[in-house]
Chain A
Amino acid sequence: MKTDKITLQKIFRDILISVLLYTLPVILMLLSFRLTGQRPWKNANNTTINRSR
């Protein structure tokens, strides 16, 4: 038993849309950092260095 062609086409199309949806929160986060000038990863590095000292 095979999946019909239209269903396979829809699956393929929706997987492409999903790739965008997966990256959306990451893109929005990076955009917010750019707009607000936040650099939280730098604070994390500083904390680690201070801790090691």
Chain B
Amino acid sequence: MIQYLELLFKNLSSWGLPVIMVIVGIVEFAYGLYESRWTKNERILDIVCFIVPKIVVRPLIAYTGLLLLPFLLPGSKGIFSWVPFWWGFAIIAVADDLTQYWYHRLHHQLPWLWRFHRTHHSASYMGMAMASRQNIIYTIFFSQIYLTTTLVYLGLGYPALFVSGIKSLITTAAHSSIKWDKPFYTIRWLKPVGWIMERVISTPATHHAHHADTTDDGVGYYKGNFGNMFFIWDIIFGTGIITRQYPSGYGIKHYKQEEWYAQFLWPVFKSRKEGSELSPNGPMVGDAV
């Protein structure tokens, strides 16, 4: 049984997750969940963001890690391999996800960081298409990747395999335009499970609220709900709201359909759209984010 689980998570971390995303994405598209908002510019941006990190950024980080860590931490390879599996699992889960919570939260709360994260919020739709959509700088400096790579080098690689697999499934599912969590709020006997689930992990309801284009309806909350795998950080720090509803609109109000290359590579390439946050003399933050 454990061997099958191990094989499952190994495949998930290599080709499994991209395949799941493509299949779910096709289902979303077939059900018309992107409506007519997946324009050519959005399509190119989403596809480039889906492919480039997988074939360039991840291998580069792994290679750099393997090269640098023996110099930075000499004689430390595998020194914590004695840590029992479930403790290793807990250590990695907290270290990885809490670091991502902070990385994400600071990109919303420190205005000078916002433009590196804006690309993820500019999509006016939710779903597999936009789940990987990020500016390249945001992806490269994805801080928890380095922390987790270091913990793997120190001997926690086996629990890290399971944590990263579970985490990627939860975060991907939270971005889906399929509202799979709805039965947990409507079916009576599932409600207690839903109550716990929405406080522990990110769900479409809580994460869609984070991607809303307004907070005026009392459902959208782009100023919070920063959690990725765990929602519990938002509960602890008071940055989350739970409404069990889904926003009517997604994206950012001041979006100017900036060129895909500017969104992907800002500040290397800038937008020609007048008044855009990504234009050469554009505002740091278009409106309150």
Contact B84 A40 (CB under 8 A): yes
A3 to chain B, nearest CB (A): 6
A21 in contact with B82 given A1-B284, A14-B237 (CB within 8 Å)? no
What 0/1 pattern do residues 14 to 53 of A give for CB contact below 8 A with B?
A: 1101100110111011001000000011011000000000
B257 touches A (CB below 8 Å): no
A1 in contact with B111 given A22-B98, A44-B81, A44-B82 (CB within 8 Å)? yes
Complex formed: what's the CA distance from A2 to B102 in Å? 18
The interface size bin for chain A is 20 to 34
Complex formed: what's the CA distance from A3 to B223 in Å? 13
Residues of A within 8 A of B69 (CB): none
Contact B94 A24 (CB under 8 A): yes
Interface residues of B, dominant DSSP? helix
B30 touches A (CB below 8 Å): no
A44 to chain B, nearest CB (A): 3
Contact A40 B98 (CB under 8 A): no
A2 in contact with B82 given A11-B106, A24-B94 (CB within 8 Å)? no
Residue count of chain B within 8 Å CB distance of chain A: 22
B236 touches A (CB below 8 Å): yes
Residues of B within 8 A of A40 (CB): 82-84
A8 to chain B, nearest CB (A): 9
A30 to chain B, nearest CB (A): 9
Contact B237 A29 (CB under 8 A): no
Residues of B within 8 A of A1 (CB): 111-112, 283-285
What 0/1 pattern do residues 66 to 86 of B give for CB contact below 8 A with A?
A: 000000000000000111100
B158 touches A (CB below 8 Å): no
Those of B80-128 within 8 Å (CB) of chain A: 81-84, 87, 90-91, 94-95, 98, 102, 105-106, 109-112
Assuming A7-B109, A22-B94, A32-B87, what are 10 further A-B pairs, CB within 8 angstroms?
A: A1-B112, A1-B283, A3-B109, A11-B106, A17-B237, A18-B98, A25-B90, A29-B84, A29-B91, A43-B82
